[in-house]
Amino acid sequence: MTDKIIAPTDICELSHFHKDAIDVARNKIPSDEEILSLSDAFKVLSDMSRLKIVFALMDTELCVCDICHVVGMSQSAISHQLRVLRSANMVKYRKKGKLVYYSIDDAHVSNIIMISLEHIKHTK
């Protein structure tokens, strides 16, 4: 039995450019600074623990102790993840006496997560 080398069929066989399409595509790409910020946001959301925290906060405000119970992590681990989420403007907090309550910073965060989850479920 001989191994056959199969040429890929998902690439162009000709070198041809479509100037109009290229111009449209180039104009859709945000600035490098915006791309870097978006990449950083996805990096923040790429952590399982942080995603669980974001899901827990989507429809309600929770104190740090509540988040620990919901997510099943220690307070120090939750605090670390909340600092990362807060620095990325994904969550916000308020103090009430000795308690600190967290919530989603704005609807955009929830929308990103829910649209991504919908996509994942759709592709299965």
- What is the mean pLDDT for each group of 10 consecutive residues in the chain (124 residues)? 66 85 95 96 96 96 97 97 97 96 95 94 84
Where are the alpha helices (H) located in the chain, listed in sequence order?
19-28, 32-45, 48-57, 64-71, 75-87, 107-122
- Cα angle, residue 90 at apex, residues 87 and 92 outer, rounded to 5°: 80
pLDDT at 62 (0 to 100): 98
Q: The whole model's pTM is what?
A: 0.82
Gap between the Cα atoms of 96 and 104, Å rounded: 17
Please give the full DSSP string across 93-114, using - where no structure is assigned: EEEETTEEEEEES-HHHHHHHH
pLDDT at 2 (0 to 100): 57
Gap between the Cα atoms of 53 and 47, Å rounded: 10
Task: Specify the pairing of strand 91-96 against strand 99-104.
Answer: antiparallel
Gap between the Cα atoms of 82 and 78, Å rounded: 6
Gap between the Cα atoms of 81 and 67, Å rounded: 11
pLDDT at 16 (0 to 100): 84
